[in-house]
Amino acid sequence: MPLLRQLSPDEPANWPASLTSPATFTALDSWSDLARTIYRFPIHRFETEEEGAVTGLLALTHVQHPIFGNSLTTAPFGSYGGFAYADSESRDLLLGAAAKLAADLGVDYLNLRFAAEDPSPPLGWVQHPVYHTYLVDLIPDSETLLGTFSPNHRNHVRKSLKKGFSLKFGRFDLLDDAYEALARSMHELGSPYHAKAYLKTMADLLGDALEFAVLYAPDGKLAGAGVFIRHGEVVTNLHANILRAYRADYAGEYLYWQAILRYAERGLKIFDLGRSLDGSGNETFKMKWKPRRQELAYWYWLKPGAELPALNQKNPKFQLAIWLWKRLPAFIIRPLGPFLIKGLA
């Protein structure tokens, strides 16, 4: 029978790759340090052990916000992760510890978001099936990979290569341009974004596992950007956005295709396109790359009387806010954005 242990705040996690691989980079100390450094979030980490071996892990972030409420979550600002287990006994011990912590802290809800073969939750938990992630199996032969796409999508990719775009990969040398492109594109979408310090600190903490990609139009103007994180044999698209003026020229196809080629050539096995809401335009675009569509386990423990949160653009309450945000000037939304997005971890 495994035993449960809570790690002290400054104790490094010594978790095996067999668990950190499915738990993704969001389970690592570096990601927890990002949440602590930028937003001062308290982090609570648990592990289970049996005969000296770690059999389960859980990293929870405590988010308190005057608008978006009081919650615990795994994988803050990531698609999923921060929770993995080798057996049902370890899982149940971690779930029990998470629920007790949630009750002790008085949070409105606790959200475990992770990848699971069966997303059906155990008794006392609720699955909220609104997100999938999209996994492209990488192969070094670009023509074979291109041949897996539909004729229409292949045509769009080839058209994108003739538009004169250029894409640069780098780290701190691209920080300013990456931030500017992402902040502008998020503004166009009606969504808040982090401060530049968020990306800089992320690059500091993740080291060579992180790359920025910046897309330039033929005249040298910013056209889009991406943030890609490697973990094991997987590279994850954390953010990738195209400015509205370049979407009709297949700038998104260019950025994604060049990134796919880069990481396939480097021997990675999977390109994780990142989560999207079911039925969204983002999902439609990602499905063009013929990925494996994987439902994410979004398990919720709810405080008695609390309802499932709906902190996404499908919520009708957000529509007016999105409409207004798009129309506010940059000098208002840039300083206000980090305050708002902090509550959406």
Count other Cβ atoms within 10 Å, centred on residue 237.
24
Examine residue 314 and state whether it is found in any structural domain, yes or no.
yes
Task: Give the chain's end-to-end CA distance (angstroms, integer).
Answer: 34
Examine residue 65 and state whether it is found in any structural domain, yes or no.
yes
- Interval 223-249 mean pLDDT: 97
Task: Return the pLDDT at 320.
Answer: 86
Same domain, 81 and 187: no
Task: Return the pLDDT at 114.
Answer: 97
Same domain, 254 and 315: no
| Mean residue pLDDT across the chain | 96
Task: Return the pLDDT at 311.
Answer: 77
- Interval 132-147 mean pLDDT: 95
pLDDT digits (tens, 9 = 90+) for 44-96: 999 999 999 999 999 999 999 999 999 999 999 999 999 999 999 999 999 99
Task: Return the pLDDT at 317.
Answer: 76
pLDDT digits (tens, 9 = 90+) for 194-218: 999 999 999 999 999 999 999 999 9
pLDDT digits (tens, 9 = 90+) for 46-60: 999 999 999 999 999
- Kindly tell me if the per-residue pLDDT of 292 is higher than 90: yes
pLDDT digits (tens, 9 = 90+) for 301-342: 999 988 898 777 777 778 888 999 999 999 999 999 999 999
pLDDT bracket for residue 248 (50, 70, 90): very high
Task: Return the pLDDT at 307.
Answer: 87
Cα(72)–Cα(81) distance, rounded to whole angstroms?
14
Same domain, 50 and 121: yes
Same domain, 204 and 303: no
Same domain, 164 and 243: yes
Q: Convert 142-193 into a string of H (helix), E (strand) and C (coil).
A: HHHHHHCCCHHHHHHHHHHCCCCCEEEEECHHHHHHHHHHHHHHHHHHCCCC
Domain residues for the domain of 42 are 3-130+295-321
Examine residue 51 and state whether it is found in any structural domain, yes or no.
yes
Same domain, 9 and 107: yes
Same domain, 223 and 160: yes
Task: Return the pLDDT at 276.
Answer: 95
pLDDT bracket for residue 160 (50, 70, 90): very high
Same domain, 20 and 88: yes
Examine residue 223 and state whether it is found in any structural domain, yes or no.
yes
Same domain, 101 and 21: yes
Examine residue 153 and state whether it is found in any structural domain, yes or no.
yes
Same domain, 94 and 163: no
Examine residue 273 and state whether it is found in any structural domain, yes or no.
no
Task: Return the pLDDT at 138.
Answer: 97
The number of folded domains in the chain is 2
Percent of the chain beyond pLDDT 90?
Answer: 94
Same domain, 97 and 144: no
Count other Cβ atoms within 10 Å, centred on residue 45.
20
Examine residue 331 and state whether it is found in any structural domain, yes or no.
no
Same domain, 191 and 255: yes
Determine contact, residues 301/133, Cβ cutoff 8 Å.
no
Residues 6+ positions from 181 with CB-CB distance below 8 Å: 214, 215, 222, 223, 224, 225, 241, 243
- Kindly tell me if the per-residue pLDDT of 259 is higher than 90: yes
Examine residue 168 and state whether it is found in any structural domain, yes or no.
yes
- Interval 280-303 mean pLDDT: 96
CATH of the domain at 220: 3.40.630.30
